[in-house]
Structure 1
Amino acid sequence: MANKLTPGSNMRWESSRMILPEHREAWLTHQQDTTKVKKPILDEQRWLEFELILREAMEYNEPLLFTYWKNGSFFELTGYCHYVSHDQKQFHIVCTNDDVHYLKFDVVMNVERA
């Protein structure tokens, strides 16, 4: 008959199967850091495409889908571009539920029609 301490039994190590909360938090932050994406740099041609799409959407009051980068992740925002502030370098976007968002030029990664 085998008891808990015989070789081949896993019960010998059951007491050491524990993780401290500090280790768990460190492991989770490490996992989040490894999934982060570096911010891509857009070229001038891409900005010209954005300008054309924005101009047409503002003229005909069409919704746009903005993809922006924040803290290593990409997020999407759908709404109407109310105006473009060149002095503050940001877009004034009104969402479909009347929320107002301000997106800086340097975080916008893609603009397309919704």
Structure 2
Amino acid sequence: MIKDRGTKKWTSIMIPELITDLQHAFYEDANRTDNPIIDEYQQAEFDESICYAMEYNYPVEFTLWIKGYTEIVKGNVHFVDYIQKHFRLKQSNGDLAIVKMNDIIGVKVYE
């Protein structure tokens, strides 16, 4: 009969730093989402909202999907580059942010 210690033999290598790293990695993977499908009507609505915001210089909030995670970027649309397919946003702190058109999953205009 084999006398195995079971889980005791693995407890020696489970140092606290390793445990927190594993929990952090598991938490990140649990929050990862699939790329949502944006149809033509939603894309047209996004374009209309962006044009409206550019015309009256209203701030815009973009919801982006980047590598499985959502991110929110706020600012005024400064320039639209149709060749490279991205927007240039001037944020409230004066920085210039670049938003790719393919990453956009939501647009909200603040009036």
TM range (shorter): 0.7 to 0.9
Matched residue, 1:4: none
- The number of aligned residues is 100
State the TM-score, normalizing by the size of structure 2: 0.79
Query: Deviations for 1:23-48, whole angstroms, at most 9, x for unmatched residues?
Result: 44233212211211112121110010
Q: What value does the CA root-mean-square deviation take over the aligned residues?
A: 2.1
Aligned-residue offset at 1:69: 1.3
Aligned-residue sequence identity (percent) comes to 27
Q: 63-72 or 88-97, which moves further after superposition? A: 63-72
- Specify the alignment match of 2:4 in structure 1: none
Measured against aligned partners, the alpha-carbon deviations of 1:47-88 in whole angstroms (never above 9, x if no partner) come to: 100111111111111111111112322111111011111110
Residue in 2 aligned with 1:61? 57
* Aligned position for 1:19: 14
| Superposition map of 1:67-106 within 5 A | 67-106=63-102
Please list every run of 5 or more consecutive structure 1 residues that lacks an aligned counterpart in the other structure: 1-12
Task: Name the aligned partner's letter for residue 90 of structure 2.
Answer: V
Runs of 5+ unmatched residues, structure 2: 1-7
Aligned with 1:109 (options 80, 105, 108): 105
Task: Report SS of the residue matched to 1:96.
Answer: coil
Q: Normalising to structure 1: TM-score of the pair?
A: 0.77
